[in-house]
Amino acid sequence: MITFAPSSALTPTPPAQLDVAAELLSLLRDTRTEPRPDTQLEALTLAVAADLPVLLWGEPGIGKTAALTQLAEELDLPLTTVIASVHEPSDFSGLPIVGDDPAEQGVPLAPPDWAVRLVRAGRGLLFLDELSTATPAVQAALLRLVLERRIGSLRLPPGVRIVAAANPRASAADGWELSPPLANRFVHLQWAHDHEVVVRGLGGTWPRATLPRLDAALLAQAVDRARRAVCGLLETRPALVHRLPAAETRRGGAWPSPRSWDMALSLIAFATAAGSSRDVLSLLVRGTVGDGPGLELLAWLDRMDLPDPEVLLADPAGAELPDRGDRRQATLEGVVAAVRNRPTKARWDAAWALLVRAMETGAPDLVVVPATTLAALRTEEWDVPAAIEKLAGVVSVSRRADRSVARATSGGAGR
């Protein structure tokens, strides 16, 4: 006798729709990383390596949280996210716990569970999200956490790094301005999306965050350079040591104080030892002491890094001039100033040889002003060197261009 199984037994059971959805989600989350130059990410990673609290400013939805998640994964640090705006001040200052005899033992302040987990792990990345929506009372409670790394009677271990994120007040839900004491404890980095990074990331490949490779041979030199730069600038500009902005909105950002100058000094040392680019250093320095003082510090660093004019005058033929245009022109102007301070025929001739070398190896227009100034230093006893003939065309063309611009400007003004 032949029996047939029910049709339902022969037909495989279709997978549950939620299982299919889970498989699709898994495919969507399957992304790769690649090494890719990213100025923002390098600045963030460098500040984290320097163990300084960082605050990322940016509009909602541009990937601040995603960048922190990826940074924690690449650095192998457990990520602990705390939404500052949904906590009470006692959550950061410590919860009072009444013991058996408060009069004898006092009332201890118990830390929250996330702080206990960080201490047990001994390392981690503490992410304080939505900082600009935290009330002033909560911001006040965060002061001790950010600066001293203390929550109640608990101290976070050195292996814990602190990074926060905030939206500008205009785009934050019930946003508050950051209090000046809290703002001055952070390195402020403006976070913006990169079109190419977003497109490539949505295609499945995101940039990889890696710790900067510090050159052990440069550590002492990096510290010396950082100290000379900060101390040299503040000696000549003492008003920059502490300058609280007058506008309330600017007080919630980066501004100069002894604390922020100390952070800037550390970041210069780290960036120097890591061989970071000037763009990365600019983000870090301006993010600690503000745009104005930060740009002054960068200019001071540029002047420090310029070649010694006396070394250049001693060997014009073998002189190595900076490639970057602004630094090259500053170097040539320094050479002319050195000749003006100690004018001799030999030094004057050497300066002309340097200007010719600069014209032959870079943009000719950079030598116009130094050549004009150097020509004015000539005395009647000095013969005109042959090098001047090579520069005469450049200077005359520049002067004709200046006269043409002047005539066009005066003609336009007369109409």
pLDDT of residue 402: 41
- For the chain, how many residues are written? 415
Q: Which residues, other chains included, contact 411 with Cβ-Cβ below 8 Å and sequence gap of 6+?
A: none
CA distances from 245 to 64, 147, 177 (A): 27, 21, 14
Structure tokens at 255: 């501004």
pLDDT of residue 171: 61
pLDDT of residue 198: 84
pLDDT of residue 102: 63
How far apart (Å, rounded) are the C-alpha atoms in residues 390 and 218?
41
CB 283 within 8 A of CB 40: yes
CA angle 43, 230, 279 (to 5 degrees): 30
The domain locations on the chain are 37-96+108-207, 216-304, 309-414
Could you state, in chain order, the average pLDDT of each consecutive group of 10 residues for the chain (415 residues)?
A: 55 77 90 83 92 92 82 87 86 73 66 89 92 88 89 88 86 73 94 85 81 89 95 93 89 95 97 94 96 93 86 87 84 90 91 88 84 86 76 54 45 48
pLDDT of residue 241: 96
Number of other residues whose CB lies within 10 A of the CB of residue 10 = 8
Estimate to the nearest angstrom the gap between the alpha carbon of 129 and the chain centroid. 20
Half-sphere exposure of 383 (CA within 13 A, CB side): 3
pLDDT of residue 290: 95
Q: Which of 190, 207, 205 minimizes the C-alpha distance to 74?
A: 207
Residue 168, amino acid: P
pLDDT of residue 55: 96
pLDDT of residue 400: 43
pLDDT of residue 395: 54
CB 150 within 8 A of CB 142: no
pLDDT of residue 9: 54
SS (H, E, C) the chain: CCCCCCHHHHCCCCCCHHHHHHHHHHHHHCCEEECCCCHHHHHHHHHHHCCCCEEEECCCCCCHHHHHHHHHHHCCCCEEEEEHHHCCCHHHHCEECCCCCHHHHCCCEECCHHHHHHHHHCEEEEEEECHHHCCHHHHHHHHHHHHHCEECCEECCCEEEEEEEECCHHHCCCCCCCCHHHHCCCEEEECCCCHHHHHHHHCCEEECCCCCCCCHHHHHHHHHHHHHHHHHHHHHCHHHCCCCCCCHHHHCCCCCCHHHHHHHHHHHHHHHHHCCCHHHHHHHHHHHHCHHHHHHHHHHHHHHCCCCHHHHHHCCCCCCCCCCHHHHHHHHHHHHHHHHHCCCHHHHHHHHHHHHHHHHHCCHHHHHHHHHHHHCCCCCCCCCCCHHHHHHHHHHHHHHHHHHHHHHHHHHHHC
Number of other residues whose CB lies within 10 A of the CB of residue 154 = 16
Estimate to the nearest angstrom the gap between the alpha carbon of 145 and the chain centroid. 23
- At the topology level, CATH places domain 37-96+108-207 in Rossmann fold (3.40.50)
pTM of this structure: 0.75
How far apart (Å, rounded) are the C-alpha atoms in residues 156 and 389?
69
